[in-house]
Structure 1
């Protein structure tokens, strides 16, 4: 295994595969904060050169967190399809990249090969791609999953309706939900982040969302994004919801900081399959975000793209219905500006797809980042072309509970019309029946809540 190269008369030598992966990353403020980023553009090129010649086998055998020290590493390694792995183990990262980008390589072919790729391999190949490469390759892969409805079908851009309220006020939640529905949001899931993470609050919001779903016969899923243990206790008390949510991380130590274990996630999945209200079989919803591990000092000196990929390696074990990266929520310490934001969003969707996940993105930013609404509108357009499965729909794109900026109901409608995409089939039929959607765009009753009231 060669970990050095020579450029312009200077030899660049790296200590480990982990360091090569870190130095080969496009610039991110989080990697700079962790003191693992390339010190110059030339060093970054040198690291990419070395990385391009490493094989699938070499990256598999050098996980960024040792097998014996980390349960997520063990899960990723043990889940691998060994027969598929043997077919690709001798490919270099450069060869794997070229094969993925070859116009003769279909999305189905890529998804099949992905079963033999560890998260470090997937991270590695993404570091050799430009932004257009990520868009082109990501758009090839359509991964379907079924809860009550099916996500990931061709030509569909779904939306999570996010009716957050600063006090979980029932009337406020209902108003935001009905408004979002009238603009075509909510086919991926109607999912609320609770202001108060208690069992009683979770049950109350579950009941509200389920009542709306049943009263108006909406073909969708419901979810309250409280802690997984809170949701499990709510199920034990007889309450119902479709999806089980949890934020996840790329190392066991970081996952522990969330108060979560691998066995706990499996227990929750089984509970929702047995006691939840979804048809299934996909009943899990995970959120991630680059540099979450760094924020809890659990990144093991690995770069944030690779640790994010390990989140996806963990997620695919549970066959989720939805996974999304909250790409700008961590703030400028980890993703500084619009250039880094655009890159991170495209990386995450491609890497999620290459893990075989129905991948979405919350294209967002915090108000102390040097970004604005134009930046996330641009990112949203790029993501739609990259095959992103779903995005967020918030009132005016402004989350008044979590205090960050995202995409609004109108944004999703505009992106669908521009890119000739549509809502999920059953949901589209529901919208058309009420005049909210007509001939591929918002209909005559869009925004008219009286149709529902």
Structure 2
């Protein structure tokens, strides 16, 4: 008889190990169907969720989803588990943890935030992924909102009542004038307090250095309390730090298995090296968090590095959450999931993208991370901007620390749809949220805020930043 089973509607469903049980309990998504690990029916999925609810949390400390011997992410998870922090929930099942989290989240705000913060190091990513699979969207929102995770460099990210933004001024040829124009557009609409971050068209050190100097010149000219980042490979950035380039944040994409990270050309050791290199510059003013990390459901599957114990495919949500163990080790300023960026092969439509965005935000924050979301989709997905409006609004209610914004919601370099600068203004206005406090003070100081705290509708010729791209025609 299988260790994991449940009888539903007269049929007994048995699950061969924790890997299969977790996969079958996951809400439907195209990536798991592609990997061949998804539940075959809604009834089987419900049975798996019932069975998963009865699993003691201690099982996750003894039954690895990805083998300890062959995967450094698993070793990091197991070797850094905080037994003392785990003690308040160690006797619970997955279902019991769900009920406890919802009870804590319904209590007084400061007490709930303190309780959940103290727990974060006691939970493994697999425990958090498991409890997430049992939750409705409203459960994910309620608990996420109760969690407070704060990080800082030149601005403070994650304070209650704030919504920061990454200003993403990408350009297909890294043209400085085009990047400066997009940066001006975002700053005039109150965006950029999380980071002004460029995805470069090339990873060459020379091109990356030029972009770093461009952003740093803008920051210093207008005395903007913000951090910049050119999202080159971590090894490129380490080399530029050694060469004296003005690096604020060290970027890298990460994933939930050793094999997937090898596909990105990194391991935990080189990520730690990047973190230390960034900190050595001491360029922050209000904090010392220097890493910027990106993740996304489906990255391990796309690399063919999604297999776990017994050679079984691990569901993409669980693998995504395992990446947060690496992020937690690096104590980043920012981490975000690029939730719909990888494509419909992994998240097919707006419903799946919305669910995944809420999942990733919940799991990241519960594990103690300043978890942002790139609310986005590719043009061949069954999604549109209405779906992104819905996800942005729900994430704002859930207390997301930051989102990504691009001119017109259309990234012409990466070829995908995200949020516009105006979308961030909508979320702040509608939900009563503010920018990061240091950035808000700057907006006020240069005359870009009205008496009600809203960003003014300034024409370029009236802007205090009008010289950013040269004379206005």
TM tier, smaller = over 0.9
Instruction: Tell me, in whole angstroms, the C-alpha distance in 1 between the residues paired with 2:382 and 2:172.
Output: 25
**Superposed displacement of residue 60, structure 1:** 2.5
Preserved contact between residue 437 and residue 446 of structure 1 (Cα < 8 Å): no
Which residue of structure 1 lines up, in the alignment, with residue 303 of structure 2? 296
Which residue of structure 2 lines up, in the alignment, with residue 373 of structure 1? 385
2:348 to 336, 339, 345: 336
Preserved contact between residue 435 and residue 446 of structure 1 (Cα < 8 Å): no
Q: Does 1:110 align with 2:116?
A: yes
Instruction: Tell me, in whole angstroms, the C-alpha distance in 1 between the residues paired with 2:99 and 2:68.
Output: 29
Instruction: Tell me, in whole angstroms, the C-alpha distance in 2 between the residues paired with 1:441 and 1:277.
Output: 30
TM-score by length of 1: 0.98
Q: Does 1:235 align with 2:241?
A: yes
Which residue of structure 2 lines up, in the alignment, with residue 138 of structure 1? 144
**Superposed displacement of residue 449, structure 1:** 6.6
Preserved contact between residue 420 and residue 440 of structure 1 (Cα < 8 Å): no
**Superposed displacement of residue 179, structure 1:** 1.3
Instruction: Tell me, in whole angstroms, the C-alpha distance in 1 between the residues paired with 2:284 and 2:210.
Output: 18
Which residue of structure 2 lines up, in the alignment, with residue 442 of structure 1? 455
**Superposed displacement of residue 436, structure 1:** 2.3
CA distance 1:329–1:449, shift in 2 (3 Å) = farther
Preserved contact between residue 210 and residue 222 of structure 1 (Cα < 8 Å): yes
RMSD: 1.3
Q: Does 1:394 align with 2:395?
A: no
Q: Does 1:46 align with 2:59?
A: no
The 5 Å alignment of 1:207-222 reads 207-222=213-228
Instruction: Tell me, in whole angstroms, the C-alpha distance in 2 between the residues paired with 1:312 and 1:446.
Output: 42
Preserved contact between residue 435 and residue 445 of structure 1 (Cα < 8 Å): no
Which residue of structure 2 lines up, in the alignment, with residue 76 of structure 1? 77
Instruction: Tell me, in whole angstroms, the C-alpha distance in 2 between the residues paired with 1:237 and 1:165.
Output: 25
**Superposed displacement of residue 430, structure 1:** 0.9
The 5 Å alignment of 1:36-435 reads 36-102=37-103, 103-104=106-107, 106-275=112-281, 277-279=283-285, 280-300=287-307, 301-435=313-447
Which secondary structure state, in structure 1, belongs to the residue aligned with residue 377 of structure 2?
coil
How many pairs align? 453
CA distance 1:449–1:348, shift in 2 (3 Å) = farther
Preserved contact between residue 183 and residue 413 of structure 1 (Cα < 8 Å): yes
Residue ranges of structure 1 left out of the alignment (5+ in a row): none
Preserved contact between residue 245 and residue 286 of structure 1 (Cα < 8 Å): yes
Instruction: Tell me, in whole angstroms, the C-alpha distance in 2 between the residues paired with 1:349 and 1:211.
Output: 33
